[in-house]
Structure 1
Amino acid sequence: MATNIDRIKSDLDRLVALGSLLDLSMVRSVVSEEEFEKLMNGVVPKDKLKAFIKKLPKFNASYEAWYSEALVLIKQVLPDRVANFVSLYEKPRGRKEVEYGNYVIQDYLQGLVVTQYGKTKVETSAAVPQFRQQLAILKAAEARFASSLFEIKQLVQADVFDRELGSARELLKNKFVRAAGAIAGVVLEKHLRQVCEDHGVKIAKKNAGISDLNELLKAGSIIEIPQWRHISMLGDIRNLCVHNKGSEPTSEQVKDLLDGTDKILKAVS
């Protein structure tokens, strides 16, 4: 599964990058050299513009392959946008006349220009917004994929934590009090670390523990004072289970740690 996810992400990144170059290639084909230079002003140094243009992919030669690959990925990641993506490429059935609004990329590829009474009614530049809309859909698929990965990661992690807490409860039931508390403490620490990462909180300390992570979350206004106090109390019980060999934690204390950790997993994200 991880291999497929990496491949899809790599393909999306590559297609979005190629699509951006195809957009420039299409624009270059429908505007004058002078207009294109103005558009690229500040983007590419003037003395390198000709070399840049020369390296641009030829739209007509590269688009079909790009479209086919992009369509497959959109079907996988954003299936509700497939019809829209296709409609920007294919000539609409029953189209009686070509207008600016229904000019599609197939028309551009065939070099279709519509004239009326000796004047140009629709020209190939009408395909530019159509392709840009396709590229926008692909970028939306990229964003959706990133969001899906986050959701998958959260679901998998939640399942792992639930199973670990379940194991801790079983240990507590069988009177392995310290072991149950140690496992619960690990789950709590992992969760707090993940919350810090999700919120972009920098963890400077190399081996930050529950107390350190709790302080960071409070300083970042990610948790409120009552939650901070609750986590501090849970951290104290965890330390009692792991470090304090002179005093035995009670079953009631470890049960509080297990229940409290379960509550924090659901309330702090």
Structure 2
Amino acid sequence: MNDPDIHTYIQEAEEIEEMYMDLLEGTTQKRMRHAGDGSSGLPNVEYKVCIINSKNELLQCTLLRKYEVWYEACRKLALEYMGRGRGAKYESFTGMYERILSLIDLKDPDTNSNEKKHLKDGFLSGFDGQVRMLHTIEPIITLSKNNYKRMITADLVNSGLEEAESLYQQGSIRQAGIIAGFGLERYLRALCEVNDIGLEPEDTMVTMAQKLLGSNKLQDIDSESLGSMDHLATLRDKCTRPDEEPQEDEVRELIDKTREVMFLAFC
């Protein structure tokens, strides 16, 4: 699963907006007059048109390409996270595309005007609307990414627990405890990462559990289970020391408690 870099797209949107403002800045406004001919009923009207400077033609082409690339990348995100159907934001996002292309071409299809003020207002209204939609799906993408990471970690730890259970049944008590303890530590590290809790290289199972408990981000996690981490870490360390002999009931408790905490975190 590739993590969509929505922050990059939002930053690129700022660059696109700045380029459009530069494009308008490089145009000149010419006063025009529409003379009434009597037959159409149109009165004499004075209006302004933007005429692009030859030096800005390259900027206009670059802006057009940049917007089209940006739009296609963001459209895929909009489709995945906004959905389709009646009232869906995806249609609102894509519905602005043609108008923005026209505005980059210095034509406003809604007002049939290319006066600089109308172009600026039209672009800001349409393009900023698309960018606002990106902001609304940003937390959805983050949640999806974290859930995926939690799921992968759960699969890895569950596989380790199955191996630990098999070794335990075969009488390889120490090795079973080592594998279960490693799985528990991996679980705690993943839980810290998905909750944006900073870790240090020297962090242990106990300190990671303390950081998790102090973060107030674990409403769905049994704090009592995490609070017993000091005891479980002691059992794991006992399995890793060759001068100590772990007991069957201690390793049994380590395996069962790891499975219990995993169930509470990933169910």
Same fold (TM over 0.5): yes
| TM-fit CA distance, 1:178 | 0.9
Q: 1:16–1:196: structure 2 CA closer, same or farther, 3 Å change rule?
A: closer
Aligned to 1:45: none
Amino acid at match of 2:225: Q
Q: With structure 2 as the length reference, what TM-score do the two structures score?
A: 0.66
- Give the alignment of 1:204-223 within 5 angstroms: 204=200, 206-220=201-215
| TM-fit CA distance, 1:264 | 1.3
Partner residue of 2:232 out of 234, 258, 265: 234
Question: Deviations along 1:208-252, whole A, 9 cap, x unmatched?
Answer: 3223333333444557762344323322322232226343311x3
Aligned to 1:193: 189
Q: 1:142–1:66: structure 2 CA closer, same or farther, 3 Å change rule?
A: farther
Q: With structure 1 as the length reference, what TM-score do the two structures score?
A: 0.66
Cα RMSD for the two superposed structures: 3.6
Aligned to 1:21: 15
Q: 1:71–1:28: structure 2 CA closer, same or farther, 3 Å change rule?
A: closer
Decide whether the 8 Å contact of 1:168 with 1:181 is kept in 2: yes
Answering whether residue 106 of structure 2 is matched by residue 111 of structure 1, we say yes
Question: Deviations along 1:174-193, whole A, 9 cap, x unmatched?
Answer: 11111111111011112222
Q: 1:241–1:69: structure 2 CA closer, same or farther, 3 Å change rule?
A: same
Number of equivalences: 222
Instruction: Please state whether the residue corresponding to 1:188 is helix, strand or coil.
Output: helix
Question: Deviations along 1:124-171, whole A, 9 cap, x unmatched?
Answer: 222221011123334556655444333322221111111111111111
Q: Percent identity at matched positions? A: 18
Q: 1:23–1:209: structure 2 CA closer, same or farther, 3 Å change rule?
A: same
Task: Note the residue ranges of structure 1 that are not aligned, 5 or more in a row.
Answer: 34-53, 91-103
Q: 1:16–1:211: structure 2 CA closer, same or farther, 3 Å change rule?
A: closer
Decide whether the 8 Å contact of 1:71 with 1:85 is kept in 2: no
Partner residue of 1:165 out of 157, 161, 165: 161
Looking at structure 1, the residues matched to 206 and 118 of structure 2 have their Cα atoms a distance apart, in angstroms, of: 66
Instruction: Please state whether the residue corresponding to 1:123 is helix, strand or coil.
Output: helix
Q: Over alpha carbons, which structure has the higher Rg?
A: 2
| TM-fit CA distance, 1:105 | 2.0
Aligned to 2:66: 66
Looking at structure 2, the residues matched to 266 and 183 of structure 1 have their Cα atoms a distance apart, in angstroms, of: 18
Q: Which structure features the higher share of helix residues?
A: 1
After superposing on structure 2, the runs of 4+ consecutive aligned residues of structure 1 that deviate more than 6 Å are none
Q: 1:22–1:76: structure 2 CA closer, same or farther, 3 Å change rule?
A: closer
